[in-house]
């Protein structure tokens, strides 16, 4: 009985070896998708808000951006850290000017909850209107 058992074990081992695939091993590459897809400008608080791919707003996600605008034939660009316009820039755009200013927000960088930085598309054609002044009749 022992020779039959040894022969049976040998035969089952051989069948197992032949059943394995002989093709080369394939690899799967995984690419991490970006969490944020776009940004929007909040005109009431002068800040930039990032939106994730599901449409949820994230107010504190913007790390930095640049404000680009032209005045006459001169172009200006101001780098901003954080998501809120500096008070000096808001005063310049709303109080010192008599006409509306068209600005573009460039180099938008957002940070996801894991700390990874993501670039967002530029926001252009934003119009900042000066503060209204009282007019006497």
Residue for token pair 């909040």: 42
Residues in the chain: 137
Provide the pLDDT for residue 100.
84
What integer is the mean pLDDT of 112-132?
Answer: 89
Reply yes or no on whether the pLDDT at 103 is more than 60.
yes
Q: Is 74 exposed, middle or buried (0-12, 13-18, 19+ CB in 10 A)?
A: exposed
Query: Which tens digit of pLDDT belongs to each residue from 45-85?
Result: 999 999 999 999 998 999 999 999 888 888 888 899 999 99
CA nearest neighbour of 106 among 89, 90, 125: 125
The answer for residues whose C-beta is within 8 angstroms of residue 122's C-beta and 6 or more apart is 104, 105, 106, 107, 108
Q: How far apart are CA 128 and CA 62, in angstroms?
A: 20
Provide the pLDDT for residue 73.
87
Query: Which tens digit of pLDDT belongs to each residue from 112-121?
Result: 888 889 999 9
Reply yes or no on whether the pLDDT at 135 is more than 50.
no
Identify the band that residue 39 occupies on the pLDDT scale cut at 50, 70 and 90: very high
Identify the band that residue 26 occupies on the pLDDT scale cut at 50, 70 and 90: confident
Find the Cα–Cα–Cα–Cα dihedral 118, 123, 129, 131, rounded to 10°.
Answer: 0
The total of other beta-carbon atoms located within 10 Å of residue 97's CB is 15
Provide the pLDDT for residue 134.
52
């Amino acid at each position: 009985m022992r020779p039959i058992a040894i022969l049976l074990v040998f035969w089952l081992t051989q069948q197992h070896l032949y059943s394995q695939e002989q093709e080369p091993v394939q690899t799967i590459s995984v690419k991490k998708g970006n969490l944020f897809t776009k940004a929007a400008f909040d005109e009431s608080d002068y800040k930039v808000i990032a939106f994730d791919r599901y449409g949820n707003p994230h107010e504190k996600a913007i790390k930095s951006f640049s404000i680009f605008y032209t005045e006459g034939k001169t172009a200006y660009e101001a780098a901003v850290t954080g998501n809120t316009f500096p008070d000096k820039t808001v005063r310049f755009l709303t109080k010192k000017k008599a006409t509306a200013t068209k600005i573009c927000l460039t180099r938008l960088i957002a940070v996801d909850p894991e700390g990874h930085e993501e670039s967002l598309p530029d926001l252009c054609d934003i119009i900042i209107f000066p503060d209204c002044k009282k007019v006497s009749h």
